[in-house]
């Protein structure tokens, strides 16, 4: 594990501990490395909308959470300034969705990260591009060994 | 109430009845007329993220739900093809958020609707622009009086 | 004319003088007031693409120029950080296009402005939403009378 | 050269021949293969705006042209439905810009393509994500050998 990946892991642990929303949606943080995060979530009954498919808000939330862990992996407090999502295929009740977010560009403060949401068959459900803004210092103190 | 508004109301009632997600997030459908919908939601403890503010997914979900009711108000099955959201101000635990979506452009199949999310102080939390795609026929049979 | 509108006019004059690109595309600056600008342009032969319609780049350029004059109307150097455009109807050779940009939200540094491009028949050609970033001080010295 | 690449080349040749706009901006079509196109352009004096940098419209136009050649490479008439661009670094007079567009997702009719614009130093100037809509049949007759 590189130093950058160790920092990413520490930052993620600090974020995850206080993230009620991500936990309440039943998300699991599969992996996080420098500039990349993968999160999974199962579509529950309380996530299904009037068309019988997963509410776009939860698909966005999964992509957005992966984005949040990826863009905070530098261990600097970073928030979403905006995002664009394209919905490509509906997700259904019981589907196991995976959101992977990866760094496209990171400036001093502003960054771009792409998240892709796939289902258990490997089909792409949504493409997401997020704009991040770094607004503060370290999320957590990294202890030198 | 115009005929178009009566149709909007009937379509909304049909959608709302089956919309587990919107209900589970504690949303209330305040008003719906032709090409316009207003929905409210309170930020709960299970909607707060690791930075202590409302997870962007729930702000998106509110804007997206208002968009869904606005773009289905023609009583033709319509889904979100994509959307862009700009987060302007954080929402906090206990905030009462209101999402208003209004028609910008409606073609035969594709449409554009803008949603604005505000808090109980009238401050704008997010600006959202959604792209809709009409994919089917009537949501509900409209009974002529 | 309000003070804010007078400032907008002075800032626009300063910008326009050095704007080779806008002039080379044959644009005319119709009006500029605080947070709003209107620019017109005729689709020339050298703006038509392989499908026989106006290249999207020139429609974007018109919306983007109106956005630039609107977001610089505070007389603070401001640039486009990004933008989303939706193309709703093709523009043809000889069409007279008008781009109107208006303030949606202006924070300290970042802003959102919507531009609408219409043709000579009043039909909407494109909807554009721009994200601005203020990066400097005054564009021009405003002389107090 | 694969069959798909030969089709892409034929489609591009047919498009390029009639594309006055792309030619007038001094663009060169470097390469086109199935789902990918690369185009270059030098920033001329008539492309510079009031801030002394390349007008965003021309950066968009380069990204959009690469997108057009990439999304028409199936030899089916396809237009841009919309696009999002993020401007990351200014381009200056005399800069040699390269736009590369690649397929992210292609459905029956709608597609997503990402364009990246870089300068002669390999620095990224802009990130662009385009939404395409296929609206017709073949651009050109492909002769079987």
Are the beta carbons of D127 and A107 separated by less than 8 Å?
no
For chain A, how long is the longest CA-to-CA vector?
Answer: 53
pLDDT tens sequence across A96-115: 999 999 999 999 999 999 99
Cβ distance of D124 and A105 shorter than 8 Å: yes
CA distance C109 to chain B (A): 12
Chain A contact present for D127, CB below 8 A: yes
Q: Which of residues 5-64 of D touch B (CB under 8 A)?
A: none
Task: Read off the pLDDT of each residue in C52-60 and give the average, rounded to a whole number.
Answer: 95
Q: Does D108 touch chain B (CB under 8 A)?
A: no
For residues C122-130, give the mean pLDDT.
Answer: 98
Residues 6+ apart with CB under 8 A from C106: C35, C71, C74, C112
The complex scores an ipTM of 0.95
- Binned at pLDDT 50, 70 and 90, residue A144 comes out as low
Comparing CB atoms, the residue among D19, D55, D81 nearest residue C49 is D19
Would an 8 Å CB–CB cutoff place D86 in contact with chain A? yes
Residues of A in contact with D86 (CB under 8 A): 105, 112, 131
Are C65 and D46 inside 8 Å of each other by CB? no
- Check C129 against B129: CB less than 8 A apart: yes
- What CA–CA distance (Å, rounded) separates B129 from B49? 24
pLDDT at A54: 97
The whole-number pLDDT of residue C30 equals 97
Task: Average the pLDDT over C22-28 and give the result.
Answer: 97
Residue B114: which pLDDT band, with cuts at 50, 70 and 90? Answer: very high
Asked if pLDDT for residue C7 goes beyond 70, the answer is: yes
Closest residue on chain C to B106 (Cα): C88
Q: Compute the distance between CA of residue B55 and CA of residue B61 in angstroms, rounded to an integer.
A: 10
CB pairs under 8 A between B and D: 6
Q: Enter the CATH code of domain D3-134.
A: 3.10.129.10
Contact C82 A131 (CB under 8 A): yes
Instruction: Name the residue facing D105 among A107, A127, A131 (closest C-beta).
Output: A127
Reported as a pLDDT band with limits 50, 70 and 90, residue A143 is: low
CB atoms < 10 A from the CB of D145, how many? 4
CB B32 within 8 A of CB B2: no
Work out the minimum CA distance from A51 to partner chain B, whole angstroms.
7
- Residue-wise DSSP of D37-91: EEEEEE--GGGB-TTSSB-HHHHHHHHHHHHHHHHTTTSS-EEEEEEEEEE-S--
Contacts of A110 in chain C (CB under 8 A): 81
Cβ contacts of residue D74 below 8 Å, gap of 6+? D7, D8, D11, D34, D106, D134
Neighbours of D140 (CB within 10 A): 14
pLDDT value for A21? 96
What number is the average pLDDT over the span D6-12?
92
Neighbours of C (≥3 Cβ pairs closer than 8 A)? A, B, D
What pLDDT, on a 0 to 100 scale, did the predictor assign at position C142?
72
D124 touches chain A (CB under 8 A): yes
Indicate the pTM of the whole model: 0.95
* C chain contacts of residue D49, beta-carbon cutoff 8 Å: 18-22, 68
- Chain C touched by A131 (CB under 8 Å): yes
What pLDDT shows up at residue C52? Answer: 76
Mean pLDDT of A7-14: 92
Alpha-carbon gap, residue A81 to A107, rounded angstroms: 14
Q: Which residues of A touch C81 (CB under 8 A)?
A: 110
pLDDT (mean) for B111-126: 98
Q: Is A117 on the interface with B (CB under 8 A)?
A: no
C-alpha C14, offset from chain centre? 15
Cβ–Cβ below 8 Å for D85 and C87: no
pLDDT at A1: 73
pLDDT digits (tens, 9 = 90+) for D49-108: 867 799 999 999 999 999 999 999 999 999 999 999 999 999 999 999 999 999 999 999
Pairing of strands B36-42, B96-106: antiparallel
Whether the CB of C88 is below 8 Å from some CB of chain B: the reply is yes
For residue range B66-112, what is the model confidence (pLDDT) as tens digits? 999 999 999 999 999 999 999 999 999 999 999 999 999 999 999 99
Distant-in-sequence, close-in-space partners of C119: CB < 8 Å, separation ≥ 6: C89, C91, C95, C96, C97, C98, C125
In terms of Cα–Cα distance, which of C134, C100, C133, C135 is closest to C118? C100
- Closest-CA distance, A126 to chain D, in angstroms, reads 10
């Amino acid at each position: 594990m590189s130093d950058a990946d160790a920092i990413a892991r520490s930052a993620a642990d600090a974020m995850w501990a206080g993230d009620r929303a991500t936990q309440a949606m039943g998300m699991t943080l599969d992996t996080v490395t420098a500039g990349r995060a993968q999160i999974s979530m199962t579509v529950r009954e309380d996530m299904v909308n009037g068309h019988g498919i997963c509410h776009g808000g939860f698909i966005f939330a999964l992509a957005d959470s992966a984005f949040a862990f990826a863009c905070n992996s530098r261990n600097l407090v970073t928030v979403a300034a905006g995002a664009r999502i394209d919905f490509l295929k509906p997700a259904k009740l019981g589907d196991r969705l995976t959101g992977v977010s990866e760094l496209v560009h990171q400036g001093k403060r502003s960054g771009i990260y792409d998240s892709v949401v796939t289902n258990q068959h490997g089909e792409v459900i949504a493409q997401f591009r997020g704009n991040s803004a770094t607004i503060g210092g370290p999320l957590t103190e990294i202890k030198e060994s």
